[in-house]
Structure 1
């Protein structure tokens, strides 16, 4: 039996877990915490437990002691060393000879080298295999710190099956009607899709749009998402007189409703630490613009090929961002080629099918 323990089950993981259950008949044990991201309720063989905080630093997932382990089992832990409840679970698994797979990030936004070494060293201490988010993370790990033959990468993916189904539902005629309805025709549409938190420098994005709008009044910034900073950002946009250059959509989790916004856009502009939004855009053949501090992004930044499927600007440099975005919007032919390259790349390497295959390799090796 394969047991998968995760702090929570965000919506973007639902299809993956359904596929793994179908292929492997896994048991899932999820908490109910994910910092505001929408989660799904337990289904199939899933059990949901409460998560408790200690001093706002460490966490404890209640109920893990109820997991029955046998020697031939595999225990997959969505790795986060802040979850102290994983420690007794790991000790119990080791005593029973259960194979342990640590599924987590080697490197994420803001990770320092000491933190990376601590993460990997802890993973080696507690696990038999390390399942990372991307191939490039494995390349960052010294061979002496964690043996390469015991490291695997999922190449973290969106539910591209849902994306492809949604695209089929939006043929040319229906999409054109949508553009007319939303006043998108003849606009230079720049899309943002994500949570509106301090981790995403949206005030910077608003200033970039303002600067471009003075020379290109057709620019329209479409913001899909919600979060604690929404009202403050709306006020800032009013102070910048951006009412005619910005549209606030709110949260959308249904891919069929997200699709027309992606399909109607020219560029995805992400001013913070980008993650799955990158490959999400590529599945819609949409080029991406983000900042150039690669170490300040999430692991999925590995999918970005500058000049081929997206561009970068100098972080926190208003003129650089405005110039790069303006140049992208001015070259429709290049945008088309970038979009095609991005889509081809994620189909080959960052699909849900390949993610499931990579996961199965790690737990059955």
Structure 2
């Protein structure tokens, strides 16, 4: 088996499935500076190295020695130029192939020029999606260096739940102010007298914003209609909650929660503008999602989903189809294998 080193800042729980599946084809080692993550069933090797930060920049110690001490075939490093060791490695590494992995362009022209330079110096880049491939090619980068591994999460009990009876508008994820879940509560409060009494809001996850959301629900008179489930790690229980949802609603920032909901045939409702991850590119208005611009529009969206059950069913079926065909974990793994082998 080829030996692969993946360099990350820390191991995120939803990445473990990727590393384990890659371990079926390669000897995978993941080097990071976070807390230990290995469990009995994990197949990858974990290497923890200390990191230091200076202002906005970070540096992981001991990476060059690790690469020298092991005969790695390929090194895959996160494409974040704040992590200085990854920038330096891309310029000086000698021996294994070197590939970047991550988001592509920012809003800063200077930063983008640095990234273009680093891609040219590297052996390749693995992108979260193909939306910016034309820009990369336009920068003079050979398309043979560009690989796509659609960013997603593994949902082992994925199923199309779009036809199930609905009674919930759902948010799943860390409770953060930038997600603007408060906007969902305010919109719901404005229409609560126009919708069935059994329709509620469900919030799954922990975070500093939950207390504020509870206070807001009490203040605007819907505390009896907002269910705070807390953190849920049981996949079957989580699947059951998703089955009740008209839609997954994250009014502003959105990321892998979109793929999570698509895996269960649940459409996404989010704003057209605001903080959006690469996953936003997979949201198609009125096909698998609904995009809105104001609280008034959000209120109308919620009403439509309740009053037109076939709308939620159609959007959800399309969402599940997209996840099944393009956004499942096997496709992401195939993208990595393509980059490693080519």
1:127-186 Cα shifts (integer Å, max 9, x gaps): 2201100121324434224322211110112103x233xx69x9x9xx9xxxxxxxxx8x
Q: State the distance in 1 between where 2:305 and 2:114 align.
A: 38
Q: 2:175 aligns with which of 187, 196, 201?
A: 196
Matched, 1:223 2:203: yes
Does the aligned pair in 2 maintain the 1:278–1:300 contact within 8 Å? yes
TM norm structure 2: 0.89
Cα distance per residue 1:105-126 (max 9 Å; x no partner) = 014xxx4252662463253254
- DSSP 3-state at the match of 2:249: strand
Asked if structure 1 preserves the Cα contact closer than 8 Å seen for 2:190 and 2:299, the reply is: yes
Question: Deviation per CA, 1:287-309, whole angstroms, max 9, x where unpaired?
Answer: 1111112x731101122121111
State the partner residue of 2:74. 74
CA distance in 2, matches of 1:342, 1:77: 31
Match of 2:37 among 36, 40, 51: 40
Structure 1: distance between partners of 2:188 and 2:140 = 45
1:209-247 CA deviation, whole Å, 9 max, x = no partner? 111213225331100111122212211111111112100
Q: Any unmatched runs of 5+ in structure 2?
A: none
Name the CA distance, whole Å, in 2 between partners of 1:148 and 1:47: 32
Q: Cα offset for 1:81?
A: 0.8
Shift of the 259–40 alpha-carbon distance from structure 1 to 2, 3 Å rule, reads farther
Is 1:106–2:109 an aligned residue pair?
no
8 Å Cα contact 1:4/1:27 also seen in 2: yes
Q: Report how many aligned residue pairs link the two structures.
A: 334
**Is the aligned partner of 1:237 residue 2:214?**
no
Q: 1:360 aligns with which of 319, 337, 342?
A: 337
Q: 1:163 to 1:78 in 2, by over 3 A?
A: farther
Distance 2:219 2:15 in 1: 38
Q: TM-score, normalised by structure 1?
A: 0.84
Which of residues 271, 276, 279 in structure 2 aligns to 1:300? Answer: 279
Of 12, 22, 25, the match for 2:24? 22
CA contact (8 A) 1:289 1:325 kept: no
Cα RMSD between the aligned structures? 2.5
2: distance between equivalents of 1:199 and 1:329? 26
Q: Distance in 1 between matches of 2:224 and 2:122?
A: 54
- CA separation in 1, counterparts of 2:67 and 2:104? 29
**Distance across 2 between alignment mates of 1:296 and 1:203:** 16
Aligned to 2:327: 350
Change (3 A) 1:214 1:40: farther
Distance in 1 between residues matched to 2:80 and 2:8, nearest whole Å: 9
Alpha-carbon separation, structure 1, partners of 2:32 and 2:321: 34
